[in-house]
């Protein structure tokens, strides 16, 4: 049941974008229309869901103290290995999607490589280490954070589509208003803080 | 803001010899006209959560200046020997190695800051400014210029970061770097300052940067988003 709690918590309460502001670069750059936001959001869920368990295995079976040689800790290699896993997984996902479903590849195409430098992917893996999740929990955390990111980018894209007809002061147009809107959304999401996922899964 | 820009430029000029108008521009441009945070809007991710207090923001700013400067230098030295198909991986590995150095140094000399920043120091790797400058500048320019470009962008980023932190800590807690500021001032008039809790919330960093963009673009028409 712990995994379900972590999934709900990652998606709604500790939302990657609205509580930690991770993945903001692509969040702001790709949120002009709902259609492209939808594609990028799906790709992020996918990559987070895959890299999190792989990085968990690397961290536990290769890097942890005494994992390979007794008394030796390879933790100083963590950042380098994590980013290498993320970069190669994104590359792999790109190739698999291209083979398996060319139509999906065409709609996602340009956004896939961008995911490598999406901070929420790397941030997810680092949070997983610092919170000491188990394997199942890290899968749930990956999928949950992906879903949270997906919801946030869809929401801001929908708002920005409506904003195009609004009368925003010239100096605030574009990114300025997008920042302030994200802040307001963050405050709205904070109302979920009191929520205890354990209550639903008793 | 203009005075700060001048001061930094003058100091840098005295410290180095090969420093003409072009090189100076590499440092000053990212501070205002081409600021990484408020104009290019890169690298927001790893910055937002640290700006509720001034001290961690200062550390973060120094760390980012170090990483942008030296990754630009190294990639610029390597630029002719790296095939373009694997350049992303090479860039990421160089950045990751430098960030690891920063993280180890911090862990050794400023452990309390390291503990509270750990995840965010790691996230400098995916800070879009670092990669952005490598792709846009270091891959096509000589090492010294690339180094300066890295320093300039790191400073432009750090400047906004610290400014945000000052605003948020001053109004959120009435302090700067833990020093009581607002309470003594209010005390002169026989009042006490009630901290504005909104400023401590993570969302406040977005309001502050939104307002800073508004002010900066309001003062300088060249930056207004026309689209």
| pTM for this entry | 0.79
- Interface membership of A131 toward B (CB under 8 Å): no
**What are the structure tokens assigned to A175, written together?**
């990114």
- Interface membership of A84 toward B (CB under 8 Å): yes
CA A112 to chain centre: 13
Separation in Å, CA of A91 to nearest CA in chain B:
11
Mean per-residue pLDDT of chain B? 81
Taking alpha carbons only, the member of A56, A75, A47 closest to residue A125 is A56
Closest chain B CA to residue A32: B227
- Interface membership of A87 toward B (CB under 8 Å): yes
**What are the structure tokens assigned to B23, written together?**
């090189």
- Interface membership of A121 toward B (CB under 8 Å): yes
Which of the 8 DSSP states describes residue B82?
A: S
Residue B13 pLDDT greater than 50, yes or no: no
Q: What is the pLDDT of residue B76?
A: 93
What are the tens digits of pLDDT across the range B73-124? 999 999 888 887 777 788 888 998 999 899 889 889 888 888 878 778 888 8
Contact B92 A170 (CB under 8 A): no
- Where do the structural domains in chain B lie, given as residue ranges? 40-164
Q: Do the strands B179-180 and B175-176 form a parallel or antiparallel pair, or are they unpaired?
A: antiparallel
- What is the percent of chain B where pLDDT is above 90? 15
- Phi then psi dihedrals of residue B113, to 5 deg: -65, -40
**CB < 8 Å to A80, chain B:** 93, 96-97, 100
Residue B1: pLDDT band with limits 50, 70, 90: very low
Sequence-distant (≥ 6) Cβ neighbours of residue B42 within 8 angstroms: A25, B36, B127, B128, B129, B132
Residue B10: pLDDT band with limits 50, 70, 90: very low
Q: What is the pLDDT of residue A109?
A: 59
Q: What is the pLDDT of residue B2?
A: 46
Interface of A with B in 34-73 (CB under 8 A): none
- From residue A130, how far is each of A126, B196, B201 by CA, in Å? 6, 30, 22
| Higher pLDDT among residues B47 and A143, named by residue | A143
Closest chain A CA to residue B124: A119
What does the DSSP assignment read for A18-77? TTT--SHHHHHHT-SSHHHHHHHHHHHHHHHHHHHHHHHHHIIIIISTTSSSTT---GGG
What is the spatial distance between Cα A115 and Cα A100, in angstroms, rounded to a whole number?
A: 20
Closest chain A CA to residue B44: A24
Residue B17 pLDDT greater than 60, yes or no: no
Closest chain B CA to residue A27: B45
Residue B11: pLDDT band with limits 50, 70, 90: very low
Q: A182 near B206, Cβ under 8 Å?
A: yes
Separation in Å, CA of B202 to nearest CA in chain A:
7
Contact B123 A119 (CB under 8 A): yes
Separation in Å, CA of A202 to nearest CA in chain B:
31
- DSSP, collapsed to helix, strand or coil, labels residue B176 as strand
Separation in Å, CA of B33 to nearest CA in chain A:
14
Q: A7 near A143, Cβ under 8 Å?
A: yes
Residue in A24, A169, A184 nearest the CB of B45: A24
Residue B150 pLDDT greater than 60, yes or no: yes
Closest chain A CA to residue B47: A21
**CB < 8 Å to A121, chain B:** 126
Strands (E), chain B: 175-176, 179-180
Scan for tokens 């020997």, then name that residue. B81
- Interface membership of A168 toward B (CB under 8 Å): no
**Computed from CA positions of residues B203, B209, B213, B214, in that sequence, does the dihedral angle turn out positive or negative?**
positive
Q: A54 near A126, Cβ under 8 Å?
A: no
| The length of chain B, given as a count of residues | 227
Contact B203 A169 (CB under 8 A): no
Residue B226 pLDDT greater than 60, yes or no: no
Q: What is the pLDDT of residue B172?
A: 87
Q: What is the pLDDT of residue B136?
A: 83
Q: What is the pLDDT of residue A111?
A: 67
Top residue of A82, A88, A122 to mutate, by most chain B CBs within 10 Å, is: A122
What is the spatial distance between Cα B204 and Cα B197, in angstroms, rounded to a whole number?
A: 10
Model ipTM value: 0.76
What is the spatial distance between Cα A37 and Cα B65, in angstroms, rounded to a whole number?
A: 32
What does the DSSP assignment read for B57-122? HHHHHHHHHHHHHHHHHHHHHHTTTS-GGGHHHHHHHHHHHHHHHHHHHHHHH-HHHHHHHHHHHH
What is the spatial distance between Cα B134 and Cα B138, in angstroms, rounded to a whole number?
A: 5
Angle at Cα A21 formed by Cα A184 and Cα B94, nearest 5°? Answer: 160
Over chain A (202 residues), the average pLDDT of each successive run of 10 is 83 84 81 82 87 91 78 80 86 80 72 76 87 90 93 92 85 84 87 72 58
Q: What is the pLDDT of residue B71?
A: 94
Closest chain A CA to residue B99: A79
Residues facing residue B176 across a β-bridge: B179
């Amino acid at each position: 049941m712990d995994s379900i709690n972590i999934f709900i918590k990652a998606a709604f309460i500790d939302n990657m974008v609205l509580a930690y502001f991770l993945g903001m670069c692509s969040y702001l750059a790709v949120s002009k229309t709902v259609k492209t936001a939808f594609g990028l959001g799906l790709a992020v869920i996918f990559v987070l869901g895959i890299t999190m368990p792989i990085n968990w295995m690397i961290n536990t079976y290769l890097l942890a103290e005494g994992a390979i040689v007794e008394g030796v800790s390879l933790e100083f290699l963590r950042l380098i290995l994590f980013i290498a896993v993320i970069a190669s997984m994104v590359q792999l996902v790109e190739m698999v999607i291209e083979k398996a479903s060319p139509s999906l590849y065409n709609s996602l195409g340009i956004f896939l490589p961008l995911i490598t430098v999406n901070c929420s992917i790397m941030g997810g893996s680092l949070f997983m280490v610092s919170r000491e999740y188990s394997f199942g929990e890290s899968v749930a955390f990956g999928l949950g954070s992906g879903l949270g990111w997906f919801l946030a980018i869809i929401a801001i894209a929908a708002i920005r589509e409506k904003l195009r007809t609004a009368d925003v002061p010239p100096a605030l147009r574009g990114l300025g208003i997008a920042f302030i809107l994200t802040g307001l959304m963050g405050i709205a999401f904070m109302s979920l803080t009191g929520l205890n996922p354990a209550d639903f899964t008793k | 803001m203009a005075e700060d820009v001048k001061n930094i430029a003058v100091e840098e000029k005295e410290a180095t010899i090969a420093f003409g108008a072009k090189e100076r521009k590499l440092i000053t441009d990212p501070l205002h006209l081409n600021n990484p945070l408020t104009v290019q809007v890169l690298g927001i991710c790893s910055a937002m959560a640290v700006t509720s207090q001034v001290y961690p923001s200062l550390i973060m700013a120094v760390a980012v200046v170090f990483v942008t400067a030296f990754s630009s230098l190294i990639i610029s030295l390597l630029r002719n020997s790296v095939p373009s198909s694997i350049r992303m991986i090479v860039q990421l590995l160089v950045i990751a190695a430098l960030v690891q150095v920063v993280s180890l140094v911090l862990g050794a000399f400023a452990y309390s800051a390291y503990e509270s920043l750990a995840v965010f120091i790691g996230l400098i790797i995916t800070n879009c400014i670092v990669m952005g400058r490598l792709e846009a500048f270091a891959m096509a320019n000589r090492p010294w210029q690339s180094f300066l470009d890295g320093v300039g962008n790191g400073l432009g980023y750090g400047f906004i970061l610290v400014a945000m932190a000052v605003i948020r800590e001053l109004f959120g807690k009435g302090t700067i770097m833990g020093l009581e500021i607002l309470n003594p001032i209010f005390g002169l008039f026989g009042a006490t300052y009630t901290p504005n809790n909104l400023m401590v919330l993570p969302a406040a960093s977005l309001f502050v940067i939104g307002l800073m963009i508004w002010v900066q673009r309001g003062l300088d028409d060249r930056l207004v988003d026309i689209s």
